[in-house]
Structure 1
Amino acid sequence: MDDPMDYLPHPHARLIVAGEPGDLGGGRLAARVSRTAQALAELPPGPLFCGMRNDLPSVLRYLGAWQARRPVALLDPDLSAAALAALVTRFRPAALLGFAQAPHGRNIPHGTTAIRRTPRSGSGDEVGEPHPELAVLLATSGSTGSPKLVRLSRTAVLANAHSIAEALALGPDEVAPTSLPLHYSYGLSVLNSHLVAGASVVLTDAGLLERSFWSSLDDHRCTSLAAVPYQYDMLRRLRFDPAEHPALITLTQAGGRLRPELIDEFAAKADFYVMYGQTEATARIAVLPPKRLADRPGSVGQAVPGGRLAIQEGEVVYHGPNVMMGYAETAADLARGEDLDGVLRTGDLGRLDDDGFLYLTGRVKRIAKIFGVRVNLDDVERILRDCGPVAATSGDDRVTVWAEGLDVKGCAALARRLGTELRLHWSGFDVRGVDRLPLLTTGKIDYVALEART
């Protein structure tokens, strides 16, 4: 790896394990990564499956796979044995690393299970080797049992890490905690962008509701915090104040639309970056820096350095080196090269102003019909953004709205409000109160689980 742009991690980057003294950086980190890479190189050929926790063994496996040029799927470490077995059948990895449950019910909390990659019974086909540029595989968002895997090249991972580091002005003094899962593209991008910038990452599995998370944030003088909209809702309820954490300067947000009043509230307390991205673009596509929040309200920013945004027939289209190679449904797909040639149709609707700032207006497929009238489900959620956490799903000629903490009277009032604002009869809206909206491990609303309840 002669090109310094290929360094992951940068020679000055540090990993800090929360609750433990010292750090791991420089030559010591390089040596640990090299030892891990050597061990992974001795495994059978093929992709690796890594149960990716926010801990040192997981990060060393990831970096070791990178150094050994072994493609690695970073997956939820707590996948059920059945879900993991289904993925193994489809993608036939060379080894399973660090999963809580292995297929057939064997516990392998930090172990390695090697898998003999043979043809499917009766198929007669040999398993081809993955494409030489394939580096990382991430699951698409959703809670179905058979997610597609996003194929990311080494170029895409590095390009996005460097563009994020540039957009956020990351330097060696930055320290970020793992506030999001590392098998989620946003969480992984926090790790990658800090590692290429020679900065530090505090590894902790603690969540934002745990006191130990905030103790670690203060003990290690973390300078930034990354979160998704639901986490910011939660922080507001907790009356979170960045001023109580003296080293904390920067807050970043991606993973969905954040209510404008929350943006204003947190932007008044810290340097607040609004960001937009997709796993299919490795992570982030656009960034709105703090200094542009006031004059570009509602925007998700301009394209990250090296990227370009366009609107085609109302859809946001992104051009850049961080676009995925394509999807993978089976092991055979891992051998394919570039399917998209750096062009991603995002599935989001939006517009660009004269200065290239992007404004999202909805999803191509987030459309329902009420009495024959098309209704954008994102519009429904925007109308009710002052009512707390809500989610809208489509049904048979109706829209179901799920609202946290509402009683029967409150649900009826919301249905009437929607009818008035959208000029449709209120009976087209089935408003249901829930104690808590179901969430994916990424902190996003689990729409699939909600649709299963209708």
Structure 2
Amino acid sequence: MNSFKKMEEFGNRTAVYAERKYSYSEMLEIADAICGKVGERTLVFCLCSNNKESLFGYVGFIRGGVVPVLLDASIHIDRLRRLINLYKPTYIWASSENQDLVKVMDSSFVFGDYTLFRCPTFFQHDLHEDLALLLTTSGSTGSPKFVRLSYENIFKNAESIAKYLDINADDRPITTLPMNYSYGLSIINSHFICGATIIVTDASVMKKEFWDLCREQGVTTFGGVPFVYEMLNRLKFEEFNLPSLKKLTQAGGKLSETLSRKFAKVCNQRGIQFFSMYGQTEATARMAYLPCEKSLDKAGSIGIAIPGGELILQDDNGNKITAPNVIGELIYKGANVSLGYAGSLFDLSKKDENNGILRTGDMAYFDQDGYFFISGRIKRMIKVYGNRISLDEVEGFLNEHGHDCICAGTDDQMVIYTLKEDYVQIKKLLKEKLNLKGFKIIRIKEIPRNHFGKILYSELPKYG
């Protein structure tokens, strides 16, 4: 199942706007030429930015049965070398100005600002026939672990997303997220299979040029992680004049209930559909969505399973939970569940290890209407004086009460990292409202985050 092979039918429709228009026919001609230089089913590293070169290379490789590994173009050379040693790609599709590659590799094809670099050592990969793509697990910056995705995973998920978002050929999304990130890539996949036009930019939502491009190109849709919505809130998004905007999507972590409500209200007033969504790279991208008409009524919920998927809860004994408001582990079933992980090239021949079932690692409950709510991560649970505490719940509670802080810790030692001198108020709040003991408060200058805005708890200053 490779839906990119059917893209010819969109012909002269505009596929991409990147300084100028590229029709589907023109994009496919370039994409197939890039892949044609690889010439066989093998492994290629793609160092991606939000540009036409990365996009066309990706489309070409998927269409031609070459397996791309999508990596951030700004990857540190030491990490890149480590990954090259572990996976031995045949080619690297990257910026022609990447001096680390120019010095050691020959150029075999050039398009725009990108070069197809041939790696000096050739390795014959044993790739499973279903393997289509490798993506990093979100948040892992130093890990060589990739998620193995099949053609069915990619396109079943894209079709499901297109269905519940009602995507059509007139949609014009703009790139706000890295395409090597599963959420950013799902926006590309779900729009390309519908013949839509993707507006490609590397500009941040904090830049005037981003909003000028939105207005000039009649952008209808964009997506963001919670960090993007926090920035939009600071920019006073409610005052923006964006007459073409029809749809906003949010995923990549839990948006605070306050901001969820605020954006739902603003969107309702402006005739914009606002969708909160939930997913993991291990499920290609999306597993659940909150229908836009429920965005206020069920603010804070991840919603219901995507078309073709199923969400269930299990208790500690592995029994299915059937009553509302009972917390258990969230399990997802669907055709978009990945084949498994890879730690090196020797894992690329492995069969499907998940069989369509993903244990998400999230704790959740559903309400009396069947809408799901995440209560925290299994790994973000600690015991303090024998009481089980969700670090995510405490964090959310403090944020809702106006404290810009995050929580970490181990059993019998919870640590609250705050950006302000608000120790006294935090202490009072936790003791009076949550009856918590055994915590420490540390002030930090900024919250460490990765490119996607996700918090890097491992990089917080140590305590003790």
Q: Look up the match of 1:193.
A: 190
**Residues 157 and 15 of structure 1: is their aligned pair in 2 closer, same or farther, counting only changes over 3 Å?**
same
Matching residue of 1:302: 304
Q: Give the corresponding residue for 1:349.
A: 363
Aligned sequence identity (%): 35
Letter in 2 for 1:394: G
RMSD of Structure 2 on Structure 1 (CA)? 2.5
Amino acid in structure 1 at the alignment position of 2:75: L
Q: What is the identity, as a one-letter code, of the residue corresponding to 1:236? A: N
Distance 2:242 2:8 in 1: 27
Whether the aligned pair in 1 keeps the contact of 2:101 and 2:117 (CA below 8 Å) is: no
Contact 1:243 1:269 in 2 (8 A): no
Matched, 1:415 2:417: no
Residues 1:110 and 2:122 are matched in the alignment? no
Q: Aligned partner of 2:203: which letter?
A: A
AA at the equivalent of 1:442: F
Identify the residue that residue 157 of structure 1 maps to in structure 2.
Answer: 154
Corresponding residue for residue 7 of structure 1: 6
**Are the aligned partners of 2:28 and 2:60 in contact in 1 as well (CA < 8 Å)?**
no
> Among 249, 255, 259, which residue is 2:256 paired with?
259
Question: Is 2:77 the counterpart of 1:85?
Answer: no
Alignment CA distance shift 1:5-1:115 (3 Å): closer
Q: What SS does the aligned partner of 2:266 have?
A: coil
Is 178-187 or 142-151 further displaced after alignment?
Answer: 142-151
Q: Distance in 2 between matches of 1:36 and 1:73?
A: 15
Kept in 2: contact 1:419–1:429 (CA 8 A) = no
In structure 1, what is the Cα distance between the partners aligned to 2:75 and 2:463?
A: 22
The Cα of 1:183 is off from its aligned counterpart by 0.7
**What CA distance in whole angstroms lies between the structure 2 residues aligned with 1:10 and 1:242?**
40
> How far apart are 1:430 and its partner, in Å?
2.4
Contact kept? 1:134, 1:151, Cα under 8 Å? yes
Residue equivalent to 1:48: 44
1-structure distance, mates of 2:8, 2:356: 25
Superposition map of 1:301-340 within 5 A: 301-313=303-315, 314-340=328-354
1:449 aligns with 2:447: no
Q: Deviations over 1:357-388 (max 9, x none)?
A: 22111111111233443321111111112225
AA aligned to 1:74 is: L
For the 8 Å contact 2:5–2:63, the answer to whether it is kept is no
Distance 1:8 1:160, change over 3 A: farther
Aligned position for 2:23: 25
Structure 1 residues 92, 172: CA separation in 2 closer, same or farther (over 3 Å shift)? Answer: same
Shift of 1:233: 1.1
TM-score, normalised relative to structure 2: 0.88
Bigger mean CA offset, 86-95 vs 179-188? 86-95
Which deviates more from structure 2 when the two are superposed, residues 56-65 or residues 107-116? 107-116
Deviations 1:324-368 (CA, angstroms, capped at 9, x unpaired): 000001111011110011111100111234554221111111112
Shift of 1:103: 6.9
SS class of match (2:84): helix
Residues 140, 147 of structure 1: 8 Å contact kept = no
Change (3 A) 1:67 1:453: farther
In the alignment, the residues of structure 2 paired with residue 104 and residue 145 of structure 1 have an alpha-carbon distance, to the nearest angstrom, of 24
Contact 1:418 1:429 in 2 (8 A): no
Which range moved further: 32-41 or 55-64?
32-41
CA deviations 1:265-310 (Å, max 9, x no partner) are 1112222101000000000100112111233333211111111111
Alignment partner, residue 139 of structure 1: 136
**1:377 matched to which residue of 2?**
391
Q: Is the 8 Å Cα contact of residues 144 and 448 (structure 1) preserved in structure 2?
A: no
The counterpart of 1:172, out of the listed 152, 157, 169, is: 169
Partners of 2:231 and 2:245 in 1: CA distance: 18
**Quick one: structure 1 residues 257 and 98, their matched pair in 2 at CA, closer, same or farther if it must change by over 3 Å?**
same
Distance in 1 between residues matched to 2:290 and 2:445, nearest whole Å: 33
Report the counterpart of residue 361 of structure 1 in structure 2. 375
Q: Distance in 2 between matches of 1:201 and 1:38?
A: 24
Structure 2: gaps spanning 5 or more residues: 108-112, 268-272, 316-327
SS in 2 for 1:7: helix
* Structure-1 separation of matches of 2:453 and 2:7: 27
